[in-house]
Structure formats: C-alpha cells, structure tokens
C-alpha cells in the first residue's frame, strides 16, 4: 500500500532510519562494553524491540506491567520494570517474575522492599530487586550520598526471598541541557552517582551485580562507561525534534512522523489548519529552552525530505493544529488536501497516541504494528 493513501492523521515509522538508529546504538553499546537493554516505552511494539536487538528478543526495559506481560508473551523474557514499584502491584509483578527468565523490580523505599518480599513465595524463586538512584533529576531514587540507599540495599540483600540486583539511574535532567557540552557533564554525573554509591556499598561488603544507567542524550555522547554494566536508552530508536534541537541527532535521523492533511487555509491571517492535534502529536512543548519558536513539531513534505521552514505549528487543540505561515500564504500554496509529515517534539508521547504504527519503506507501508496499551 502506498502510504499516501492512508487516512490521516496516522503514525509512520521510516524503517531505513529506524534500522540505522538501532544499529548505531547497538554498535555503541558493544564498543563501550555494556549490555544494551533498550527502554521499550518509546514504542511499546515487540517488532521494534527485535530490530533494536538485531533480530532477537534481547533484554528490555519496560515502563508498565502491561508492557512486561505483552512482551513476555512473545519471547522477551529478560526484563526490567524501571519504575519504583507502585503499592498494590507487587503480587502481579512477582507472579510475572516467576513466569519469565528474569524480571528485575525497582524500589526507592523500604516499604516497596517489604511489599515484594511479602508477595514472594517462601521457597520460591528469589525476586531480583534493584535500587533506584537519583543522579540529579530529582524525580525518583535515593540520594547517592545519603544513608537511605545503603539501608535499603542491605534490606534487599538480607532477605532470602529477594535477590540483590544492583543500582539503576536515569539522567532525566539531560533534557534541560542546551547542547552536547552540557549533556556530557550530565553523563558524567549519571555515571558518577552510580559509581560513588557502588563504592560505598562495596566497602560495606555489598558489591553491586549490575550498574544500569541511561537516557538517549547522555548515551549518544557518553565516551567512557567503565564500571557500568548496562544501558537503557529508549528514544534513540526514533529520535525527534527535541533530540535534534539539543544535538542528540540530526533532524534527518528522525524515524517517526505523523502524516496529516491540510484541512483549512486562511490567507488573510497567513494560517493553515492541519488534522493533527494534541491527540496525534501530544502537547509536549518541545525544546523551548533552546528554540523558543519551536512550536509543536517540525513540518516536512510527504517524503520527509524537505522541511517546510515557513510553517510553524503555533497551537494544538484536540484534533486541530494551527499553523502560522511565515511571510504569508501565497495563492495556491498548500491547497486543501495537501499531505504533510510532522516530526513530533517527543516521539515517545506522540507514538503512544496512536493505535497502529505504519512501518514504511520507499513510500510504501510494509508492516502494521500494534503497540501495547494500558498499565
Ligand atoms: C528509568 C528510565 N530509564 C531509561 C529511560 C530512557 O530514556 P530516553 O527515552 O531518554 O532514552 C527512561 C525514559 O524516561 C526512564 O524513565
């Protein structure tokens, strides 16, 4: 099927670009000597995770139990649920951990250690538990310099129902950086936080089997990962307008786009209306800290080859995008029905808006992939 015939808005995944992004990160992890455990929350599609691992069902990171179950059902049996365990989900998580090869659960509180231990069967499989470390993002995790981390780690290690799995961190604050130099500093901080706490634990007689880190910005720039065992980038397989603006990739590396249609023309106010609103692109504000005029995504022609530099997506409502046309809307330009492709600000959020991913190559849809939904 030529994708030009698809009803809009719809999600397109450029396979050539996706495969190139996947291969580049695979090569990078190999060169840096770390296990690649891509975060599948970016796409929630098992077929894409296989491409990330060169055709096999390798280790993955998940953001929801729904992802863990769906990916496990199609052969992904080495999993890490990289969210501090929510109260009330321990029984389900432990049941799944007993059914797969390995499911690492994450905690940053002594309470969560207790929930997992209580759900584990006495004499059953030991459930692997990792400790989340805050490397500067101030979202989840323990302070690597504080006393709470060693206390929680010791509690995991001494419980016979649990397996001490090590430390995990994510430099979410890399997204506030303005370019590679700042990202490199955050990447050092990300690794430094893990190594510092691991050294303290080691001196206390509790070595860390795994040290896991990663975000797309820090991993595309990290040059030294000595001591780290595992990386968990997610967004890199698509990239997006945000990553291009902060220097993680070139805009022409972006593999995800939303195909849309011009549904309104207003020459008097130099404006177009597209049928891709917040439910097709997400309301992610984009890289405003480096490009205040970025709008809600980068607009391209249908081949994703040429950027429509005069078009700025100024506002989104549920199903409409309002586009400003710099320099005015010439007669005959962008007639009603014109198809355009938008590279979203945040690929993970935009992808999660859509029920189907259309994998495209050379202008044709070559596969339809259905992402996991729910929690
Ligand atoms: C815990 C954790 N690990 C890894 C990632 C992947 O980061 P990125 O999407 O920047 O590659 C995320 C993303 O939010 C995350 O929350």
Q: Model confidence over 285-336: pLDDT tens digits?
A: 999 999 999 999 999 999 999 999 999 999 999 999 999 999 999 999 999 9
Q: What pLDDT is recorded for position 4?
A: 82
Assess whether the C-beta atom of 189 lies below 6 angstroms from ligand 1: no
Residue 76's pLDDT band, with cuts at 50, 70 and 90, is very high
pLDDT at 30 over 90: yes
Which atom from ligand 1 is nearest to the alpha carbon of 106? 1
Assess whether the C-beta atom of 38 lies below 6 angstroms from ligand 1: no
pLDDT at 207 over 90: yes
Backbone phi and psi for residue 162, each to the nearest 5 degrees, phi listed first = -120, 155
Helix, strand, coil percentages (3-state) for the chain, rounded to 5, are 35, 25, 40
- For residues 172 and 210, give the distance between their C-alpha atoms in angstroms, rounded to a whole number: 20
- For residues 226 and 224, give the distance between their C-alpha atoms in angstroms, rounded to a whole number: 6
Q: Are 62 and 38 in contact (CB under 8 A)?
A: no
- For residues 212 and 35, give the distance between their C-alpha atoms in angstroms, rounded to a whole number: 9
Closest CA to 343 of 273, 287, 263: 287
Q: Ligand 1 mean position to 119 CA, how many Å?
A: 27
- The best mutation among 82, 135, 234 to test binding of ligand 1, ranked by most ligand atoms within 8 Å of the C-beta, falls on 234
CA-proximal residue: ligand 1, atom 3 (nearest): 170
Assess whether the C-beta atom of 233 lies below 6 angstroms from ligand 1: yes
Helix (H, G, I), strand (E, B) or coil at 283: coil
Distances (CA, A) of 176 to 84, 172, 237, 347: 23, 8, 20, 17
The CA-to-CA distance between both ends of the chain, in Å, stands at 33
Q: How far is CA 253 from the centre of its chain?
A: 16
Residue 123's pLDDT band, with cuts at 50, 70 and 90, is confident
Q: What pLDDT is recorded for position 338?
A: 97
With left for phi above 0 and alpha for psi between -120 and 50, is residue 121 left, alpha or beta?
Answer: beta
Tell me the average pLDDT of the chain.
97
Assess whether the C-beta atom of 170 lies below 6 angstroms from ligand 1: yes
pLDDT at 371 over 90: yes
pLDDT at 222 over 90: no
Assess whether the C-beta atom of 234 lies below 6 angstroms from ligand 1: yes
- The best mutation among 22, 41, 287 to test binding of ligand 1, ranked by most ligand atoms within 8 Å of the C-beta, falls on 41
What percent of the chain is predicted at pLDDT more than 90? Answer: 97
pLDDT at 82 over 90: yes
Residue bearing tokens 């069902």:
57
Residue 122's pLDDT band, with cuts at 50, 70 and 90, is confident
Residue predicted with more confidence, 223 or 371: 371
Q: What pLDDT is recorded for position 1?
A: 84
CA-proximal residue: ligand 1, atom 15 (nearest): 170
Q: What pLDDT is recorded for position 223?
A: 87
Q: Ligand 1 mean position to 42 CA, how many Å?
A: 9
Reported as a single tens digit per residue, the pLDDT across 238-283 is 999 999 999 999 999 999 999 999 999 999 999 999 999 999 999 9
Assess whether the C-beta atom of 322 lies below 6 angstroms from ligand 1: no
Which atom from ligand 1 is nearest to the alpha carbon of 42? 9
Residue 5's pLDDT band, with cuts at 50, 70 and 90, is confident
Backbone phi and psi for residue 240, each to the nearest 5 degrees, phi listed first = -170, 180
């Amino acid at each position: 099927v030529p994708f030009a015939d698809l009803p809009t808005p719809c999600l397109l995944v450029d396979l050539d670009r996706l495969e190139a992004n996947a291969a580049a990160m695979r090569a990078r992890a190999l060169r840096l000597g770390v296990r690649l455990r891509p975060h599948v929350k970016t796409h929630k599609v098992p077929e894409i995770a296989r491409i990330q691992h060169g055709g096999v069902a390798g280790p993955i990171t998940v953001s929801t139990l729904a992802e863990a179950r769906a990916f496990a059902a199609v052969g992904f049996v080495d999993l890490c649920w990289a969210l501090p365990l929510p109260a009330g989900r321990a029984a389900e998580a432990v049941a799944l951990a007993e059914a797969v090869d390995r499911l690492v659960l994450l905690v940053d509180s002594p309470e969560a250690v207790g929930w997992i231990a209580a759900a584990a069967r006495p004499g059953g499989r030991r459930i692997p538990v990792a400790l989340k470390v805050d490397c500067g993002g101030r979202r989840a995790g323990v302070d690597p310099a504080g006393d709470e981390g060693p206390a929680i780690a010791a509690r995991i290690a001494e419980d016979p129902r649990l397996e001490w799995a090590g430390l995990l961190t994510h430099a979410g604050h890399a997204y506030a950086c303005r370019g590679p130099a700042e990202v490199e500093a955050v990447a050092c901080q990300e690794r430094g936080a893990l190594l510092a706490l691991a050294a303290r634990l080691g001196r206390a007689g509790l070595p860390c089997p795994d040290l896991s880190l990663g975000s797309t910005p820090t991993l595309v720039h990290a040059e030294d990962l000595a001591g780290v065992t595992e990386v968990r980038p997610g967004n890199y397989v698509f990239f997006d307008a945000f990553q291009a603006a902060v220097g993680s990739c070139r805009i022409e590396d972006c593999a995800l786009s939303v195909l849309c249609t011009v549904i309104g023309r207003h020459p008097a106010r130099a404006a177009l209306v597209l049928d891709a609103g917040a439910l097709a692109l997400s309301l992610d504000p984009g890289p405003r800290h480096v490009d205040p005029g970025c709008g809600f995504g980068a607009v391209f022609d249908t081949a994703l080859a040429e950027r429509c530099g005069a078009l700025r997506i100024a506002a989104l409502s549920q199903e409409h995008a309002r586009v400003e046309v710099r320099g005015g809307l010439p007669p005959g330009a962008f007639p009603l029905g014109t198809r355009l492709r938008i590279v979203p600000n945040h690929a993970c959020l935009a992808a999660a808006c859509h029920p189907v991913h259309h994998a495209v190559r050379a202008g044709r849809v070559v596969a339809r992939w259905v992402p996991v939904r729910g929690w």
